[in-house]
Amino acid sequence: MARDGFTTSFGVIAATLGSAVGLGNIWKFPYLTGANGGAGFLLVYVLATLAVGLPVMISEIAIGRAARADAVSAFARLAPPRQPWWLIGAMGVVAAVLIMAFYSAVAGWVFAYVLKSLAGGALSTDPKVTSAAFGALVADPLQALAWQWLVLAFVGTIILMGVAKGIEAVTKRLMPVLFLLLVLLGVRSLTLPGAGEGLAFLFRPEFSRITPGVVLVAVGLAFFKLSIGMGTMVTYGSYFRADQNIPATAARVMLADLAVSMLAGIAIFPAVFAFGFKPEAGPSLVFITVPAVFASMPAGALFMTAFFVLTAVAATGAMLSIVEVPVAVLSERMGFTRRAATVITLVVIALLGVLPALSQGVAARWKLGGMNAFDLCDSLSSNVLLPIGGILVCVFTGWIWGRDRVAAELSNRGALASGGVVRALRFLVRWVSPVLIVAVMLRGFGIA
């Protein structure tokens, strides 16, 4: 059977961008930036995206397209005999399940906020009111779980109905609307009295706050944001067209993704300071701050509804790409039907996701090493599995796969003049990126 693939260049970019842009931009980036001291964190995150994120992203897409297979089979196919590089793909399957366990919970909050905004709820400039509205949602175990399961059922339905590509095309068309809405939100936020303090927080680094732990979280965010280190880009790369310019596509997606995050930051931090929220509020930050900005503009309830609908769309595009890693491995490599693969994957996620979904409420006090289930799934994936996956992808591309084969893939078998790109990429993945990640992880975990 011929493998399915993206048929147009538009489809390629739609899907790749749809995977990268998601809750990472709107929810995780602001909350981590707030919790880790602001501008210094942002600076490290941007540097990590350029020095580590982009090279790994290009490598993964190239690996996927060269092998035209799921994440486990791709490495198995390209590696020399009897070398277990397929383990990168297997780790990716684990990471995908861990990420979905908390991502689907947050997506559930977003879906719930669509309803809340329609009903005009949570719309207030008073931190107490918006915090209470969020608290009531996440502290109620029934609501938290029901929304998470609704999200998983929604994702499953999209895959089983075979309309995932249609959703990606819709996502791509709606992305500019989200972008515009963020611009609008940013303008309102910037014109609030006291907004300057938020801008300074976001753009004036205090270098003393950049600790090894902060650097590790910033690098982890760079991986999470670009959907790399776990085989998503390998899997999506396997659907790329043969004539797609991989480095140019990756660079564009990376820039667009950074732009969305920056806009989200500009929309949120001035308001955080203007209204007296706490930047280190944690995972609730977006949910309590954004309603305050909307409350201070005309037709706020309408705009807020649009905002959460568009965020839900972006989150769905990202979730489709996370789930695609295990689904492709189960169906292509292990012989399950796509239907069975989807159901198995989503049921495992739903079971594992119970604890993270409840961890902002009833299970908040169940901790391991000082972290609740939510933080554990998050930090185990972003700060451990994805960076290790990234190191291995670099080593594989730089030292194992072979110079000529890397060059052939990146130049579309010689159709593109990409000598400089290949040299730069090889230099980075051989000498720079893996060394940086190892150093950051050792220092971040206090090992060296």
Nearer to ligand PHE, 19 or 284 (CB): 19
Tell me if 31 contacts ligand PHE by CB under 6 A. no
Binding mask 3-22 for ligand PHE (x = CB under 6 A): ----------------xx-x
Tell me if 23 contacts ligand PHE by CB under 6 A. yes
**Minimum Å distance from CB 280 to ligand PHE?**
21
Binding mask 89-128 for ligand PHE (x = CB under 6 A): ----------x-----------------------------
**Minimum Å distance from CB 27 to ligand PHE?**
8
How far, CA to CA in Å, does 413 sit from each of 62, 254, 407, 419?
A: 12, 24, 8, 12
**Minimum Å distance from CB 94 to ligand PHE?**
12
Tell me if 387 contacts ligand PHE by CB under 6 A. no
Considering only residues 18, 24, 265, 398, which one is a binding residue for ligand PHE as defined by CB under 6 A? 24
Residue, CB closest to ligand PHE: 24
Considering only residues 117, 321, 397, 433, which one is a binding residue for ligand PHE as defined by CB under 6 A? 321
Q: For residue 386, which of 329, 322, 324 has the smallest C-alpha distance?
A: 322
**Minimum Å distance from CB 183 to ligand PHE?**
19
**Minimum Å distance from CB 314 to ligand PHE?**
7
CB 158 within 8 A of CB 167: yes
* Segment interacting with ligand PHE (CB under 6 A) among 129-137, 274-282, 314-322, 421-429: 314-322
Tell me if 224 contacts ligand PHE by CB under 6 A. yes
Identity of the amino acid at 445: F
DSSP letter string, 172-232 = HHHHHHHHHHHHHHHHHHHTSTTHHHHHHHHHS--GGG--HHHHHHHHHHHHHHTT-SSSH
CB 293 within 8 A of CB 185: yes
* Segment interacting with ligand PHE (CB under 6 A) among 10-18, 23-31, 349-357, 423-431: 23-31
Q: What is the 3-state secondary structure (H, E, C) of 347-382?
A: HHHHHHHHHHHHCCCCCCCCEECCEEHHHHHHHHHH
Considering only residues 322, 330, 373, 384, which one is a binding residue for ligand PHE as defined by CB under 6 A? 322
* Sign of the torsion angle spanned by Cα atoms 112, 116, 121, 123: positive
Enumerate long-range contacts of 124-128, CB under 8 Å, 24 or more apart. 124/291, 124/292, 124/295, 125/275, 125/292, 125/295, 125/296, 126/275, 126/292, 127/275, 127/276, 127/277, 127/288, 127/292
Tell me if 155 contacts ligand PHE by CB under 6 A. no
| Residues within the interface to ligand PHE (CB under 6 A) | 19-20, 22-25, 99, 224-225, 227, 230, 232, 318, 321-322
